[in-house]
Amino acid sequence: MTQTATRSELKVPATAAIHDDDRAVVDVEALGELLLGRWAATRRVARELAGRPEVHRIEGQSHADQRSRCFDQLHYLVENKAVHRAFPAELGGEDDHGANIAGFEELVVADPSLQIKAGVQWGLFGSAVLHLGTEDHHRAWIPGIMNMDIPGCFAMTETGHGSDVASIATTAVYQPETDEFELHTPFRAAWKDYIGNAAIDGRAAVLFAQLITGGVNHGVHGFYVELRDADGNFRPGIGGEDDGLKGGLNGIDNGRLHFTKVRIPRTNLLNRYGNVDSEGVYTSPIASPGRRFFTMLGTLVQGRVSLDGAAVAVTKLALKTAVQYSVERRQFNAGSDLKEEVLLDYQQHQRRLLPLIAATYAASFAHEELLAKFDDVFSGAHDTDEDRQDLETLAAALKPLSTWHALDTLQECREACGGAGFLTENRFTSLRADMDVYATFEGDNNVLLQLVAKRLLADYAKEFSGVDFGVLARYVVTQRAEKTLHRSGLRRVVQTVVDGGSERKSAIALRDEHTQHELLSDRVEAMVAELAGELRGVRKLSQEAAAEKFNEHQHELIETAKAHAELLQWEAFTAAVHQVDDAGTKQVLTWVRDLFGLCLIERNLAWYLMNGRLSTQRARTLSPYINRLLAKIRPHAVDLVDAFGYGPEHLRSAIATGAEKERQDEAMAYARQQRASGTFPIDEKTVLARTAKAKAKR
């Protein structure tokens, strides 16, 4: 097995753009710039901060110490102007929503607990006051929230209800006699639960409760409520519990809260989208309770956007460490008696790590598009209802993929580094423990994917309700593209390709960009069309029968949403490849994009075969082709992870420092020296062979 050294290993300059496939060179710096994206400047500032020891986690601390350190770090973030970019300029912010998220998500590199604790304070609690409240609320509380005088909670989730926010059971009943709301927790399942800052630090909260006035429930609204006095004791009627230790993120004091007939002034209702006057009359600028609920929950989307970005960032850290180790670590000497192979020269190791790099590039570029969309909406540049829905759908599509991808990557990297991967000093395990909950908070991944699927179907329902499945399917191919899927974030969709149908099409290799796109988008369209057909007429059924029908297709709904999200990632990756000028970089990045696309197709190969999209012959070429692609990308692996741009101050992993290479070099030098001095012991096997030979001669 020939060892293929990387450019970095060979110290080849990064500048030369070489067109020859086998000598393609990645311009690491330019690629890094592309990855940094539109908010590169903010990211640089945020990364510099994230590299400082002051914001790092100290491993092995008790959770009490971890919490208190994390709390202090919030003040450090304030001092260093790291967390106010989204607040209004008149209150000391920068009114810059995209930059805010870009900077915020890089905090994960310092410590996921810090990212989430900051997210609770400014992204959830502060944001709720800002977006759901009105001017008086802003004046009264935003300054204190910004500067940490008021550490606060976002008290939405209850023990009994997480994903289904509309069903929370805490009530806020208007009391005309005293012009107050009475907050009340009617039973144990209605306790607020898993609430960050609730166990210790929270002085106040935005509490979500069913607003009831005059015997009518107007649905979930946010109320500003003081939780604790200056000494940190709960105010009368308020109680709580510590959620205690968690699987990760132990820098955050999650807890439970309950309210027993707690009175707050009527004006503590955050009344931007719904108000109650002193007569108890409810008014809202949004007539439909459904739309109002959707709008109020809209602020939650920024959490999903930033979790998507944070997941991508952590994935980059893990891959840099694992790839660096894999080009230094040697194990087994199958090919030679003298030299062992570096891990990344093993095909299986390439199969394990390189597709993860490819998926990380895809997720990174897709996140950049999500962030742009988010900035468009929150800056007000493009802020129609439809824009907001598109943003919601895009976030709901991408966050599940990237958070699961982060977990898979951290685990694969940990295993790929063997025992060293299990040591805390190499960080995989702690990061994985922290990232675990990203898959279920701010929207359970499976629930989010169903929202995506419902959106894909809703785009049909308006125009195709009652249309026969066969007709619908045909209509999809020719007409649906711009009319419907486009709104869900899909770009123009071209006609389906049935491989093997014509010679021309059969000749299109799988590595062809157009073919990949056709295969991926065709699958989404066909799945949506099939679902729409199967669910046709569901609106005419009873509520129970309709629910049963949907449930019978729940798995397909989720698979369809995933396919859609993967296509979006592929498209974002491809758009990014098109932006690259440098020929060598473009070549390598195209291979990586191909690897991403072909691995998606390989994973769903049965679908392509069953649905006649690929011939058996073509399908059989896929796996060997992926193996060849892996071998092509192998020499560029280090460049690809170096372009992620994280330095030792971010990696902080003992095996990402070259320590393994030093050890290997020392061991090899020792063997050389022994051989040279003739002190290297002979193997028994060699002795036996010699004896046998001598015997044979006699």
**Residue span binding a copy of itself (CB under 8 A) among the ranges 126-134, 326-334, 460-468, 507-515:** 326-334
Q: Tell me whether residue 233 or residue 331 sits nearer to a copy of itself (CB atom).
A: 331
Residue 51, amino acid:
G
**Residue span binding a copy of itself (CB under 8 A) among the ranges 16-24, 185-193, 369-377, 387-395:** 185-193
The distance from CA 353 to its chain's CA centroid, rounded to whole angstroms, is 18
Q: Tell me whether residue 53 or residue 681 sits nearer to a copy of itself (CB atom).
A: 681
Q: Which of 688, 653, 687, 17 is nearest to 318 (CA)?
A: 653
Q: How many CB atoms lie within 10 A of CB 64?
A: 11
The interface with a copy of itself within residues 647-666 (CB under 8 A) comprises 662-664, 666
Instruction: Rule CB under 8 A: say whether 544 interacts with a copy of itself.
Output: yes
Instruction: Rule CB under 8 A: say whether 281 interacts with a copy of itself.
Output: no
Enumerate the β-bridge partners of residue 174. Answer: 181
Dihedral angle over CA of 261, 263, 266, 270, nearest 10: -80
**Residue span binding a copy of itself (CB under 8 A) among the ranges 114-122, 298-306, 428-436, 478-486:** 428-436
Q: Which of 575, 389, 392 is nearest to 492 (CA)?
A: 575
Q: Tell me whether residue 338 or residue 494 sits nearer to a copy of itself (CB atom).
A: 338
Q: Using CB under 8 A, which of 68, 389, 446, 657 touches a copy of itself? A: 446
Q: Tell me whether residue 444 or residue 649 sits nearer to a copy of itself (CB atom).
A: 444
The interface with a copy of itself within residues 289-308 (CB under 8 A) comprises 289-290
Site size with a copy of itself, rule: CB under 8 A:
112
CB of 568 closer than 8 Å to CB of 546: no
- The sign of the CA dihedral 587, 590, 592, 598 is negative
Phi and psi torsions of 458, nearest 5°:
-60, -35
Enumerate the β-bridge partners of residue 238. Answer: 259
Instruction: Rule CB under 8 A: say whether 22 interacts with a copy of itself.
Output: no
Instruction: Rule CB under 8 A: say whether 234 interacts with a copy of itself.
Output: no
- How near is the Cβ of 661 to a copy of itself at its closest, in Å? 11
Instruction: Rule CB under 8 A: say whether 216 interacts with a copy of itself.
Output: yes
Q: Using CB under 8 A, which of 40, 423, 458, 477 touches a copy of itself? A: 423
The interface with a copy of itself within residues 243-262 (CB under 8 A) comprises 243-248
Instruction: Rule CB under 8 A: say whether 2 interacts with a copy of itself.
Output: yes
- How near is the Cβ of 629 to a copy of itself at its closest, in Å? 13
Instruction: Rule CB under 8 A: say whether 555 interacts with a copy of itself.
Output: yes
- Which residues touch 255 (CB under 8 Å, ≥6 apart)? 195, 197, 198, 199, 200, 240, 241, 242, 243
As a whole number of angstroms, the distance between CA 528 and CA 549 comes to 16
**Residue span binding a copy of itself (CB under 8 A) among the ranges 387-395, 544-552, 562-570, 579-587:** 544-552
Instruction: Rule CB under 8 A: say whether 165 interacts with a copy of itself.
Output: no
Assigned token pair, 121: 């304070």
Instruction: Rule CB under 8 A: say whether 478 interacts with a copy of itself.
Output: no
Assigned token pair, 132: 């759901």
**Residue span binding a copy of itself (CB under 8 A) among the ranges 121-129, 335-343, 574-582, 590-598:** 335-343
The interface with a copy of itself within residues 56-85 (CB under 8 A) comprises 59-60, 62-63
As a whole number of angstroms, the distance between CA 620 and CA 639 comes to 31
- How near is the Cβ of 423 to a copy of itself at its closest, in Å? 6
As a whole number of angstroms, the distance between CA 252 and CA 118 comes to 10
3-state secondary structure of 228: strand
The interface with a copy of itself within residues 403-422 (CB under 8 A) comprises 407, 411, 414-415, 418-419, 421-422
Q: Tell me whether residue 177 or residue 337 sits nearer to a copy of itself (CB atom).
A: 337
Q: Using CB under 8 A, which of 96, 106, 111, 193 touches a copy of itself? A: 193
The distance from CA 518 to its chain's CA centroid, rounded to whole angstroms, is 26
Assigned token pair, 144: 């204190």
**Residue span binding a copy of itself (CB under 8 A) among the ranges 68-76, 143-151, 183-191, 643-651:** 183-191
Phi and psi torsions of 223, nearest 5°:
-125, 140
- How near is the Cβ of 337 to a copy of itself at its closest, in Å? 8
Instruction: Rule CB under 8 A: say whether 186 interacts with a copy of itself.
Output: yes
Q: Tell me whether residue 80 or residue 664 sits nearer to a copy of itself (CB atom).
A: 664
Q: Using CB under 8 A, which of 135, 177, 332, 478 touches a copy of itself? A: 332
Listing DSSP states for 50-78 in one string gives HTSGGGS--TT--HHHHHHHHHHHHHHHH
Residue 258, amino acid:
H
Q: How many CB atoms lie within 10 A of CB 328?
A: 22
In the DSSP assignment, the letter for residue 122 is I
Q: Using CB under 8 A, which of 168, 212, 238, 561 touches a copy of itself? A: 212
In the DSSP assignment, the letter for residue 216 is E
**Residue span binding a copy of itself (CB under 8 A) among the ranges 78-86, 237-245, 467-475, 577-585:** 237-245
How far CA 77 is from CA of 10, 50, 123, in Å, comes to 41, 10, 14
Instruction: Rule CB under 8 A: say whether 144 interacts with a copy of itself.
Output: no
- How near is the Cβ of 595 to a copy of itself at its closest, in Å? 14
Instruction: Rule CB under 8 A: say whether 677 interacts with a copy of itself.
Output: no
Q: Using CB under 8 A, which of 32, 176, 219, 500 touches a copy of itself? A: 219
Helix 40-50 and helix 97-106: axis angle, to 10°?
30
As a whole number of angstroms, the distance between CA 170 and CA 258 comes to 9
As a whole number of angstroms, the distance between CA 465 and CA 457 comes to 10
Residue 554, amino acid:
Q
Instruction: Rule CB under 8 A: say whether 696 interacts with a copy of itself.
Output: no
The gap between the terminal CA atoms of the chain, to the nearest Å, is 38
Dihedral angle over CA of 392, 398, 400, 401, nearest 10: 170
Q: Using CB under 8 A, which of 620, 647, 648, 672 touches a copy of itself? A: 620
- How near is the Cβ of 424 to a copy of itself at its closest, in Å? 4
The interface with a copy of itself within residues 623-642 (CB under 8 A) comprises 623, 627
Q: Using CB under 8 A, which of 66, 100, 409, 445 touches a copy of itself? A: 445
Q: Using CB under 8 A, which of 9, 444, 530, 649 touches a copy of itself? A: 444
Instruction: Rule CB under 8 A: say whether 691 interacts with a copy of itself.
Output: no
As a whole number of angstroms, the distance between CA 325 and CA 664 comes to 11
Instruction: Rule CB under 8 A: say whether 548 interacts with a copy of itself.
Output: yes
Q: Tell me whether residue 438 or residue 573 sits nearer to a copy of itself (CB atom).
A: 438
Q: Using CB under 8 A, which of 147, 163, 278, 579 touches a copy of itself? A: 163
Instruction: Rule CB under 8 A: say whether 187 interacts with a copy of itself.
Output: yes
Q: Which residue has the tokens 């299986």?
A: 348
As a whole number of angstroms, the distance between CA 570 and CA 601 comes to 11
- How near is the Cβ of 403 to a copy of itself at its closest, in Å? 10
As a whole number of angstroms, the distance between CA 656 and CA 679 comes to 34
Q: Tell me whether residue 479 or residue 627 sits nearer to a copy of itself (CB atom).
A: 627
Instruction: Rule CB under 8 A: say whether 504 interacts with a copy of itself.
Output: no
Listing DSSP states for 126-178 in one string gives IHHHHHHS-HHHHHHHHHHHHTTSS-EEEE--BSS-SS-GGG---EEEEETTT
